[in-house]
Amino acid sequence: MAFLVLSVDHTRISEDLSSFPLLIELADPVLRGIGAVGFCDSQGRPLPAEVEHLDPQTGRLRAWVGLAAVSSGADTVFRVGWGSDLPAPAVPLWGA
């Protein structure tokens, strides 16, 4: 699996948060030609997510990712991955 490392800048977070749905919007050339993505935490555990838009021609991605916690004291690091061994969400982001 290939991946991009993403992070939430802790200096933009005023207090610790739990069960936080984070909207991701990015455009990256490495996502060109990709048909599906998955998200995992810094330990490689799958994260719940909902991909709203993934454009394989431009590499543009818009997705909601469920983070268990977002820290105001240190950056929260997670990954978006693609390819073999794609991380599949363990549970739906918005519930069943």
Q: How far apart are CA 54 and CA 77, in angstroms?
A: 21
What is the rounded average pLDDT for all residues in the chain? 90
For 16-51, the pLDDT digits (tens) are 999 999 999 999 999 999 988 999 999 989 999 999
Instruction: Residue 94: count other Cβ atoms within 10 Å of its Cβ.
Output: 10
For 61-70, the pLDDT digits (tens) are 999 999 999 9
Confidence of residue 4 (pLDDT cuts 50, 70, 90): very high
Confidence of residue 53 (pLDDT cuts 50, 70, 90): very high
